[in-house]
Amino acid sequence: MNKAIGYQCSICDKTYGLDEVTYTCPDDGGNLSVVLDYDGIKATTSPADIQASSSQSIWRYLPLLPVGEPGHEKTSLHAVGWTPTFAPTKLSEQTGIKQLWVKDESRNPTASFKDRASALLVVRAAEIDAEITVTASTGNAGAALAGMAAATGRKAVIFAPKTAPPAKIAQLLIFGAKVVLVDGTYDDAFDLSVETTKEFGWYNRNTGYNPFTAEGKKTAAFEIWEQVILQQDLDRPLCVFVSVGDGNIISGLHKGFKDLHALGWLEHMPRIFGVQSEGSAAIYNAYAAGTEEIKAVSATTLADSISVDLPRDGLRALRAATQTNGAYIQVSDEAIISAIADLGPVGVFAEPAGSTAYAGVQKALEDGQITMDDPVLALNTGSGLKDVKAAMQAAGEAPIIKPDLDAVKELLN
């Protein structure tokens, strides 16, 4: 069965066959969304089938994904997704939000949300016989592609800004990718990776460029549906908070909820809230100005994973909030660091771009965009181990003492 019918452009609405184009709309460069055959899917699959799946990974949603059987059964490809979603009482008490969940994406095989996209990408690459995959990345997308390529025996080339945190660069190298550090910004790395794609015929995974990334990322929406919405008797729409850089995660989440809605499996659309750093707030700026025209900024934020001048999936990212009665929120880098410290005591170790979503929850509550009666879910999109420098900023220094009991007693006083 062909679950995907084709693509639709987010700017001009024109549709294309699945093998007619590979990346963006040839007419206007708009991002393409994969169009599924909802009738066909409904005829063969029910929510109960999915809930009965024995797969604890994104592959439990294979009936809703535009690829065939993934193969590579006993590899980390099958450890992607189905991340824990839990209700930390301590954060409920601190914020007053009665129903509050955190979904921890740092538990993915390469420790970020990006594995969802890269897992789907390597399966698609195999289907179209693309030998070499390439991506530009601030670190996590590259690590995810390198990791998933390693798991499936494929080659990966990664372009990253030379300023990427060392832990992320180490991850790329360890997974055996060809790593190219660019003396420039992420945006420069992006442009260069597209040039090499055209020159060498590689298969490009770039966020907000390859339509399959959002299809992988939408699986997080499916999990939120199964792990929260179907489990709870919510009397208000769930408010989902996510950090935003290029805007592909938030677009993917929106796509996932739209798929479920179109299938008739989800009654009330969640409200989607995009959170950006004040230092990298291109989409927030457009939202605040009430326009769909997104202008480039000169990004400066310590949250490197969401440091983006011109978001590559900006339009869809903006609409994810405006079409769901959500909002865009900007937070300071100080608030991002302090949110790392807030999440730690409930067992979540976030990198700055991960804690940004929770900082957004705090801000939205303060500003009255949500109330304590709204059910809220914040995603942590990446692991604190990816950026130890930021973690140390959040945690402060540990005391050093002489190795004797008196010194311990003195310290404890």
Ligand X SMILES: *Cc1c(COP(=O)(O)O)cnc(C)c1O
Give me the residues that bind Zn ion (CB under 5 A), please: 9, 11-12, 25, 27-28, 30
130 binds, among ligand X, Zn ion, none (CB under 5 to 8 A by kind): none
Question: Closest residue (Cβ) to ligand X?
Answer: 382
Residues 6+ apart with CB under 8 A from 401: 407, 408, 410, 411
Among residue numbers 67 through 86, which ones bind ligand X (CB under 6 A)? none
Closer to ligand X by Cβ: residue 133 or 383: 383
Complete edge-to-edge strand list for the sheet that includes strand 239-243: 85-86, 100-104, 376-380, 239-243, 271-277, 327-331
Residue 275, beta-bridge partner list: 243, 329
Residue 245 touching ligand X (CB under 6 A) = yes
**Residue 147 C-beta: closest distance to ligand X, Å:** 13
**Residue 105 C-beta: closest distance to ligand X, Å:** 8
Question: 38 by DSSP, 3-state: which?
Answer: helix
The sign one gets for the Cα dihedral 57, 137, 340, 333 is: negative
**Residue 26 C-beta: closest distance to Zn ion, Å:** 8
Q: Which of 10, 45, 95, 112 binds ligand X (CB under 6 A)?
A: 112
**Among 89-97, 111-119, 193-201, 287-295, the segment contacting ligand X (CB under 6 A):** 111-119
Asked whether 205 and 213 are in contact (CB, 8 A), the reply is: yes
Among residue numbers 190 through 229, which ones bind ligand X (CB under 6 A)? 207
Closer to Zn ion by Cβ: residue 28 or 49: 28
- 390: nearest Cα among 356, 362, 361, 347: 356
Residue 110 touching ligand X (CB under 6 A) = no
Q: Give the contact letters, 154-193, x = binds to ligand X (CB under 6 A), - = no.
A: ----------------------------------------
25 binds, among Zn ion, ligand X, none (CB under 5 to 8 A by kind): Zn ion
Among residue numbers 354 through 383, which ones bind ligand X (CB under 6 A)? 354, 381-382
Asked whether 116 and 217 are in contact (CB, 8 A), the reply is: yes
- 252: nearest Cα among 396, 141, 99, 87: 141
Closer to ligand X by Cβ: residue 50 or 102: 102
Q: Is 9 exposed, middle or buried (0-12, 13-18, 19+ CB in 10 A)?
A: buried
CA distance 391 to 277: 17
Element (H, E) at 34: strand 32-36
Q: Which of 228, 249, 337, 348 binds ligand X (CB under 6 A)?
A: 249
Closer to ligand X by Cβ: residue 82 or 328: 328
Q: Tell me how far the alpha carbon of residue 222 is from its chain's centroid.
A: 13
Residue 243 touching ligand X (CB under 6 A) = yes
Binding residues for ligand X, rule: CB under 6 A, are 112-114, 140, 207, 243-249, 305-306, 351, 353-354, 381-382
